[in-house]
Structure 1
Amino acid sequence: MSVDLIRFVIFAGVLIGLGLLATRVPLFRPYLRKNPMITFLLGISSGFPLTLLVATMTFWLAKVGIDTATIGFAVALGTPYTIKFLWAPLVDKLPLPFLTRAFGQRRGWLFFVQALLFVSIWQLGASDPQTGHMGPFVFWAIVTAFLSATQDIVIDAYRIEILDDDEFAHGTATNQFGYRTGNLIAGAGTVYLASTEGLGLGWAMGYGLTAFCIIPAIIGAIWAGPGRFVDRFANASGMSAGQWLKETVFNPFREFLGRHGAFLILGFVLIYKVGDAMGQTMLGPMIVDLGFADLDYVSANKLWGFAALIVGSALGAPFILWLGMGRALLVSGLLMMFSNVMFMLLALSGNNYWMLVLAIVTENLTSGIGLTVFTTYLSGLSSLAYTATQFALLSSFAAFGRTWLASPAGVVAEKLGWVGFWGFTVVAAVPGMLLLWLLWNKGYLVQSVRQPSTQDD
């Protein structure tokens, strides 16, 4: 049985177990509601394009003999996800001819972007990199990355707007489940479709068939309806271009930055997961350096770790309801720091398989909880008047912190060694915890903003 098939079985088992828990345990019951199920479908369509662009595409390029320097350009395809707040205001407020009237702002944009994304993925698959002409291939990869980031803007805003307050955390968790499902389909599924060791349909057909992963979000959007999009100028007449630009571009940022503690919140979002991100960057190199066999790493990370990640994500929503958002952020942050201590112990113990499993399970379990809690927190900070723009701003800040502030990880590991490096990642998480304490102490941590803004213009 292949690793990916086992992962699918684990994932299915967790979902079945979650369904059984939801029938018996009140804290899990909201998972069975309509809207959390819809966010699962939205998550599938959100999760598959980035996997196609990074993991699957680099595997494809390596298989056909493209040099590693060329393959390295795939890292840059993550850039649209870190700067998507720049065009999020247009997605938030710009109506589309016919589509907005027929389906509403969110669904109109979703269907429009998905149609373009479907075409771009087909074209990417058909742009054979073996021909020696990488220009079309790179072009369609960039277009796909831009459209995928734009789809995320729409789906994140739509998810926030369709969820009721008492199902918010559960809907965020099911969205994460859907995202992981999309990852599996675009990773293992596409490789199986394309590879000669699978169905052997070729990469063009493999990518083309995977493009149909847009369908779950379409089904979910039809099922959910238009959502609670707030158009503050829906009944305005004679609005000037300046007024429209002010409402679209300026006001979302003004509304957020005008809140008490806004800059502290942005700082917290930027650095909260830096220690965790630094550890993730250097985990693979440490495993190699400690002399673990490839199969040991695959079984520990792709099987044990994957199961722990799904369980952790499922526990995130009850975790918030049990502790409250402030305590949930604090405890999940401390748990992630503890998971890095486990890797210190692994570095000390050396090539010890069960210590590896224990460290990876701890890390994935705590990361699953932390991801659900943190994403729920970011979602709750987004006003319904400017959902797409504000969530794009917050998630871009978080992505920037994970990507760039964690970038010195290799230098730190080289200077301090593995034990010192993991100790450093624990210390690197402390500023985020201090900012969290400061926000909590000043009463800025949790602000009820899931209501339309009433700020005057």
Structure 2
Amino acid sequence: MSRNMNKNLPWSEALKQWLTPQVLVMLLLGFSAGIPILLIFSTLSVWLREAGVSRSAVTFFSWAALGYSFKFIWAPLVDLLPLPFLSKKLGKRRSWLLLSQCSIIAAIIWMSSLDPVLGGTNLVLMALAAVFLGFSSATQDIVIDAYRIELAGEEKQALLASVYIAGYRVGMLVAGAGSLFIASYFGTDAGAYHYSAWRFTYLIMAVIMLVGVVTTLCTSEPTRAAHPRHQYSPLAYCRFLFLFALMALSFALSFFYGAHLFSGLSCLFLPILGEQGASFFVEAIHLFSALLVALAVGKMVAKTGLVPTGMLEASYVRPVREFFDRFGMRTALLLLALVGCYRISDIVLGVISNVFYLDMGFSKNAIAGITKTFGLSMTLVGGFLGGVLTLRFGMYRVLMLGAVLASITNIFFALLVGAGENLGLLALVIGADNLCAGIASTAFVAFLSSLTNISFTAVQYAIFSSIMTLLPKFIGGYSGSIVGSIGYEQFFILTALMGVPVIILVFFAGKMIKTDPVL
């Protein structure tokens, strides 16, 4: 891929790029990608709580979203596995898009057919349906990311990223606030639960997903897509799929049923790492142990000759090796460090933000109105600015701008600590934070796209996007404990300081890539 950006593109030309058909396609696909995630998280949680499901059982459903964090494991299937009839008819990307979208619709309809208030088998089936929805949604994300990268050259990636993020946010708004409004309209609330209201709500969400299906059928296969590498027999592809399923099952069983083996280890590290550090360390060992079990099972099965060695190498080894060969070990490691840390400031803060607003005395209506509606509009504006600025000045300059703004806006939250219930200041802080987040997210998605090779778009981007959230979300899980120890004000300053290494990484990444200057 070319690493040159149109940093001197005139303002008029930069703005005209928004009128191309590619922009509309990515906006609609972004909307389709934003629908499912909240139907697993917040919206589903409200449904389950209204149905009288215990909090512990509700949190169990969060496991359904594990697919988003580990989608890189089956991304090679999307790149390598042809779909009978569909791949020849629609092409590699559109066939997988259609399959994933139809699977999402089927999962939502499945969930709508189950009443959690009945408990027992219904609750288990609801969990399975949620897992199926998470898996299907993560698969759709894999394909859309690859489709976006192959749809246009690197110079347009920031623009496509900005409209994709805008569509994604609107989709989340529809599936979040929109679904709650629909459920209330049909007559269900915490004091008067009605299963039929939630059934109709989820069925409406399934119908709304047809936006993605129609877009997939009406658009065309990317002209820059690499030719499908269908060089193996159908039986070999089926064996490869079986191997993947076996590894996924091994990971799930070892992670969930091995939890009790690690529950008592924290006390061994308490004197050295403290309570939070010991818990963090043990959970990391737990996670990586499950991954090692899955890899060991896969390696043992592969040795039996079930799957051709060349197929495994093409799926998992070549994409990683190509990345390190292209950039060199030193630069590749620096880029991966930047990928893993760039969003650490805003993700760690975001985990506890709603709790903070409530602790400051803001009402739920105020939080919803300012953080969701007004915040969404500022994010869309930020995404628009990020796309135009990247076209005009280059990716690394805007990437640096986003890193600096992320740290500065986190400090703004410290101002809210002593201000009490000040709606004007809350709106100012939320507006600035979301505006800057929109700019940073657009530049960062363009940056991730620029790191991929056109021959391995699905696999490489899935790896990058998984690395992007792994460390921040892991640390974010302990944000409540950190606040309990040092207070909100020091916590916000700490999250701002987390952004300083990111600024340094952006600077050196820009210099080592030898692309448009960051300063």
**TM-score, normalised with respect to structure 1:** 0.87
Q: Is the contact between residue 312 and residue 365 of structure 1 (CA under 8 Å) also seen in structure 2? A: yes
Deviation at 1:196, TM superposition (A): 4.6
Instruction: Identify which of 134, 139, 142 aligns with 1:150.
Output: 139
Instruction: Identify which of 78, 82, 92 aligns with 2:65.
Output: 78
* Aligned-partner Cα distance in 2 for 1:167–1:354: 37
Q: Which amino acid aligns with 2:226?
A: V
Q: Which amino acid aligns with 1:414?
A: G
* Residue 61 in structure 1 maps to residue 48 in structure 2: yes
* Aligned-partner Cα distance in 2 for 1:231–1:250: 19
Paired residues in the alignment total 424
TM-superposition CA deviations, 1:17-47 (whole Å, max 9, x none): xxxxxxx943222111011110111111111
Unaligned runs of 5+ in 1: 1-23, 448-457
Aligned partner of 2:279 in structure 1 is none
Deviation at 1:324, TM superposition (A): 1.2
* Residue 275 in structure 1 maps to residue 345 in structure 2: yes
Q: Secondary structure at the match of 2:418?
A: helix
From the superposition, tell whether residues 405 and 257 of structure 1 become closer, same or farther in structure 2 (CA, over 3 Å).
Answer: farther
Tell me whether 257-266 or 133-142 shows the greater mean CA deviation: 257-266
Tell me whether 233-242 or 265-274 shows the greater mean CA deviation: 233-242
* Aligned-partner Cα distance in 1 for 2:19–2:443: 19
Map 1:21-100 onto structure 2 (within 5 A): 25-100=12-87
Map 1:225-244 onto structure 2 (within 5 A): 225-227=220-222, 228-231=224-227, 233=229, 241-244=308-311
* Aligned-partner Cα distance in 1 for 2:132–2:230: 32
* Residue 337 in structure 1 maps to residue 407 in structure 2: yes
Tell me whether 146-155 or 71-80 shows the greater mean CA deviation: 71-80
From the superposition, tell whether residues 198 and 317 of structure 1 become closer, same or farther in structure 2 (CA, over 3 Å).
Answer: farther
From the superposition, tell whether residues 233 and 303 of structure 1 become closer, same or farther in structure 2 (CA, over 3 Å).
Answer: closer
Deviation at 1:392, TM superposition (A): 0.3
From the superposition, tell whether residues 70 and 367 of structure 1 become closer, same or farther in structure 2 (CA, over 3 Å).
Answer: same
Deviation at 1:384, TM superposition (A): 1.0
* Residue 437 in structure 1 maps to residue 507 in structure 2: yes
Q: Is the contact between residue 45 and residue 179 of structure 1 (CA under 8 Å) also seen in structure 2? A: yes
* Aligned-partner Cα distance in 2 for 1:52–1:446: 41
Q: Is the contact between residue 64 and residue 127 of structure 2 (CA under 8 Å) also seen in structure 1? A: no
* Aligned-partner Cα distance in 2 for 1:366–1:291: 25
Instruction: Identify which of 206, 210, 218 aligns with 2:213.
Output: 218
Q: Which amino acid aligns with 2:313?
A: K
Q: Is the contact between residue 439 and residue 445 of structure 1 (CA under 8 Å) also seen in structure 2? A: no
From the superposition, tell whether residues 307 and 233 of structure 1 become closer, same or farther in structure 2 (CA, over 3 Å).
Answer: closer
Aligned partner of 1:255 in structure 2 is 322
Q: Which amino acid aligns with 2:212?
A: A
Deviation at 1:257, TM superposition (A): 2.5
* Residue 298 in structure 1 maps to residue 368 in structure 2: yes
Q: Is the contact between residue 382 and residue 435 of structure 2 (CA under 8 Å) also seen in structure 1? A: yes
Q: Is the contact between residue 186 and residue 197 of structure 2 (CA under 8 Å) also seen in structure 1? A: no
* Aligned-partner Cα distance in 1 for 2:211–2:364: 35
From the superposition, tell whether residues 412 and 237 of structure 1 become closer, same or farther in structure 2 (CA, over 3 Å).
Answer: closer
Q: Which amino acid aligns with 2:55?
A: T
Instruction: Identify which of 181, 199, 202 aligns with 2:170.
Output: 181
Map 1:118-129 onto structure 2 (within 5 A): 118-129=105-116
* Aligned-partner Cα distance in 1 for 2:350–2:232: 50
Tell me whether 246-255 or 363-372 shows the greater mean CA deviation: 246-255
Q: Is the contact between residue 341 and residue 422 of structure 1 (CA under 8 Å) also seen in structure 2? A: yes
Tell me whether 435-444 or 270-279 shows the greater mean CA deviation: 435-444
* Aligned-partner Cα distance in 2 for 1:130–1:316: 45
Aligned partner of 1:284 in structure 2 is 354
TM-superposition CA deviations, 1:230-285 (whole Å, max 9, x none): 13746899999322332222211111132231111111111111111121122222
Q: Which amino acid aligns with 1:103?
A: L
Deviation at 1:444, TM superposition (A): 6.4
Aligned partner of 1:383 in structure 2 is 453
Unaligned runs of 5+ in 2: 1-10, 189-193, 237-306
Q: Which amino acid aligns with 1:231?
A: H
Q: Which amino acid aligns with 1:310?
A: L
Q: Is the contact between residue 169 and residue 372 of structure 1 (CA under 8 Å) also seen in structure 2? A: yes
From the superposition, tell whether residues 49 and 232 of structure 1 become closer, same or farther in structure 2 (CA, over 3 Å).
Answer: closer
Which structure 1 residue ranges, 4+ long, deviate > 6 Å from structure 2? 235-240, 444-447
* Aligned-partner Cα distance in 1 for 2:457–2:209: 22
Aligned partner of 2:304 in structure 1 is none
Deviation at 1:318, TM superposition (A): 0.8
* Aligned-partner Cα distance in 1 for 2:335–2:441: 17
TM-superposition CA deviations, 1:392-413 (whole Å, max 9, x none): 0000011213311332222221
**TM-score, normalised with respect to structure 2:** 0.77
* Residue 106 in structure 1 maps to residue 93 in structure 2: yes
